[in-house]
Amino acid sequence: MFKTLQKIGKAFMLPIAILPAAGLLLGIGGALSNPTTVKSYPALGNPILQDIFQVMSAAGNVIFENLALLLSIGLCIGLAKRDKGTAALAGITGFLVMTATTKALVALSSSPDRSIDTGVIGSLVIGAVAVWLHNRYHNIELPAFLGFFGGSRFVPIVTAFAGIIIGAFFFLVRPPIQTGMVSAGTAIAGSGVIGTFFYGFLMRLAGAVGLHHMIYPMFWYTPLGGTEAVAGKTIVGAQKIFFAQLADPNHVGLFTHSTKYFAGRFATMMFGLPGACLAMWHCIPKGRRAKYTGLFASVAFTSFLTGITEPIEYMFLFVAPLLYVFHSFLDGVSFLVADVMNIRIGNTFSGGVIDYLLFGVLQGESKTHWLYILPVGTLWFALYYFSFSLFIKRFKIATPGHLEDTMIAAIPTGRGSKKKSDRGNDGIDERATEIITALGGAENIEDVDACITRLRVSVKAPDQVNKASLKDLGATEVFEVGGGVQAVYGAKAILYKNAINAQLGIDD
């Protein structure tokens, strides 16, 4: 079950990875085509420019309007064991049939004016059913007279029939469920800043094992994140509400309170974790501090610019789990403070300076209170710097370069690290072969996957995995989670995953 949850979380990353690009299009296009912005900056009123900005806004907005469909496709691709293209087609077919069924039943009902939006819940259900049918029946053999419909062709067909059943099911049960979810969202919002704190704390804590993708989509895309009337439409989900308001040229005033599920990220990602990097760098003895300057500068800049924090968190997560819990606590407090100060900055994917500029600064101080982030961020930088310095020195935490001359996430120093072939594909393939051996051989491997920095492998016998060899092959850290093994290889994780799957004959 734990491994399955990890796979689901990772599967979400495929469609969610589209959102930064869509957010950039919508953010830039919506902001620069807004009548208020054009009035403030007359040069933007050029008809050609306005046409371009409006096209950008529409192009970005269509992604968010069809996010449920994209999530269903991503789930099918991420969880399909073989022939992922057919699984994706089944997911699309099932989703379209499901939504058409609910619309038809609503039209035939006694309340034709009501609407049923299954949202991310519907996409998860139909996606899960579609991928289960695919994994079970993609090689099915039918009688000779039906042979054309056998194999992978059978899956979209049977998924379509499943879509009818699921659509009817949602027609019957979705209204009370939707009411319950709205009530739950209201209760969370009604719990005030304490609820906001626990949202930030638990999401960051779950990130330690890659399960945070199971938490935030429920708030970003469902009534748990709030319900707002925007431009005459009822919008549910924190992120969808924010971008609907962003696309509405007539929206005035401060953006929705649902942005409390985003605004707390900026102080941690832009200021707090870079402060932790400075603390870890200062804890290194002066004689070898220069060797680590580039490492800490690069990961701090990545967090500041893009909000990707894993490279920093992996520096202390494995050697000091309690320090990670403390970091999660501070992140929760950051969400609490942003809520208390009425900071209303949205984002697409993370809380770096790109989203801060697009969805904070460019939207105006009166709508987002983006200026408040600066004093809070300064405080957070100091808080992280001094607390991390104290913890590292007091408890002798082995962060990079502190207790011994080892550099996490640097060039591997183990066997094969000096091979010329490491510079090309031959080196990746050769290293992948060695990783397979270290994992206990091909017969011990059940499934191979990867996220941004981690190679995630499901194995039959974890005790057959040689963790020392994996570290010799360049892994920053190796740990066992729920019968699986995760090895931190940084940006090479996806390359190793592809090479290993190719050598094992596993369809990607």
First-residue to last-residue Cα distance in the chain? 22
Q: Provide the H-helix boundaries in 344-417.
A: 353-356, 365-368, 373-394
Query: Could you tell me the CA-to-CA distances from 389 to 214, 334, 422 in Å, in that order?
Result: 32, 20, 36
Distance CA 171, CA 264 (A): 36
Distance CA 400, CA 409 (A): 9
3-state DSSP assignment of residue 377: helix
* 451 among known catalytic residues: yes
Closest CA to 82 of 484, 422, 412, 504: 504
Distance of CA 199 to the CA centre of its chain: 15
Are 273 and 312 in contact by the 8 Å Cβ rule? The answer is yes
Which residues does 309 contact at the CB level (< 8 Å), separation at least 6? 268, 269, 273, 303, 350
Tokens 């050598």 belong to 503
> Could you write out the DSSP letters of every residue in 447-466?
EEEE-SSEEEEEES-GGG--
Distance CA 459, CA 463 (A): 9
Are 46 and 77 in contact by the 8 Å Cβ rule? The answer is no
Are 273 and 305 in contact by the 8 Å Cβ rule? The answer is no
Q: Which two tokens stand for residue 449?
A: 């996957």
3-state DSSP assignment of residue 255: coil
- Angle value at C-alpha 398, between 496 and 403, nearest 5 degrees: 115
Distance of CA 205 to the CA centre of its chain: 14
| DSSP at 488 | E
Task: With both helix axes pointing from N to C terminus, report the angle between 154-190 and 84-108 in degrees, rounded to the nearest 10.
Answer: 70
Quickly count: other Cβ atoms within 10 Å of residue 150's Cβ: 15
Q: Provide the H-helix boundaries in 109-210.
A: 119-137, 154-190, 193-206
Catalytic residue positions?
A: 451
